[in-house]
Amino acid sequence: MLTIGSQTGAPDYLLDNVRMNWKISGDTIRKSDEQKANIIRGELGRWVKAVVLTGKGHVGSWSVVKEPMDDDNPAQIRTGKTIEVLPANTFYWQDYLGKDYAAIAIDTLRKYSDATNKVFITETNLLNNRAKVQGLSDFIKYTEQKGAKVDGIATELALNINSDTVQVETLLSELAGTGKLIKISSLDIGTGGSANQTTTETYQRQADKYQWFVEAYNKLIPAAQRAGISFRSPVDQSSSSNWRPGEPVGLWNMQNNRKQAYKGVVEGLQNN
- Whole-structure pTM value: 0.86
90-106: average pLDDT: 96
Domain ranges for the chain:
33-120, 151-272
Asked whether the predicted pLDDT for residue 1 surpasses 60, the reply is: no
Cα 268 to Cα 210: distance, rounded to the nearest angstrom: 8
User: Strand, coil or helix: what is 237?
Assistant: coil
Closest Cα to residue 134, out of 119, 153, 160? 153
Better pLDDT: 91 or 271: 91
**Fold category of 151-272 in CATH:** TIM Barrel (3.20.20)
Full strand arrangement of the beta sheet holding 61-66 = 61-66, 118-123, 152-160, 181-190, 226-231
pLDDT value for 271: 84
76-81: average pLDDT: 95
pLDDT value for 9: 58
172-199: average pLDDT: 95
Question: With 0-12 CB in 10 A as exposed, 13-18 as middle and 19+ as buried, what is 107?
Answer: middle
| Per-residue pLDDT reduced to its tens digit, 17-68 | 777 666 666 667 788 999 999 999 999 999 999 999 999 999 999 999 999 9
Distances (CA, A) of 41 to 34, 52, 59, 72, 96: 10, 16, 24, 27, 8
Task: Please report, rounded to a whole number, the percentage of residues in the chain having pLDDT higher than 70.
Answer: 91
Q: At what angle do helices 165-176 and 200-220 cross, to 10 degrees?
A: 30
As a residue count, the chain comes to 272
pLDDT value for 145: 98
Closest Cα to residue 192, out of 171, 206, 208? 206
User: Strand, coil or helix: what is 218?
Assistant: helix
91-97: average pLDDT: 95
pLDDT value for 211: 98
